[in-house]
Amino acid sequence: MPDEDNILENYVEPDITIEYIFIEKRDTQIKPINNDQGYQMGFFSLFVSGEFRNDNLMDFKKLLLDELNYSIKTNDHFKSNKINLGDYKFALVDNNENISEFTELDEKFFQALIASKRNLMIVGKNFIIENFKHHHLFNKWFDEYTNRK
């Protein structure tokens, strides 16, 4: 069993916490969340200073893929068994619920993420995010879990 004091002693405060909502892709978008869509709210951290660094796009993609692949394997509400980031689009949500959409994780997206409130939505390419803004899941995520300060 790990020594809790030793873990806390070596804990490094993250520079950036990214709050996200991940919604599994579907070929047909019947409503904001279809009955066969899985979703997950969560967070992970980026470090941009100190000894440990994972503040570049490649590290971010790896972190994101590891997180999402772990999510779909450990939760029974997902139909997929492996994530392909090319099947998704990415959206950043600001304090006024304005949304900036990106079709790929490129340097432009990554710089916008770091400059934003870091509230990230990961949804299927055909998912209509604007309609989702009125769904109770979006409101719960936005009200309770995002980086609004």
Pairing of strands 119-124, 16-23: parallel
- Strand residues in 1-149 grouped as ranges (E): 16-23, 39-46, 88-93, 99-102, 119-124
Six token digits for residue 136: 């109770």
Record the pTM.
0.84
Mean pLDDT, consecutive 10-residue stretches, the chain (149 aa), reads 68 80 88 87 79 77 92 87 93 93 94 90 93 93 87
CA end-to-end distance (rounded Å), the chain: 37
What pLDDT is stored for residue 61 in this prediction? 92
Cα separation of 1 and 74, whole Å?
A: 23
Amino acid at 122: I
What pLDDT is stored for residue 28 in this prediction? 82
In the chain, the domains with their CATH numbers are 4-145 (3.10.20)
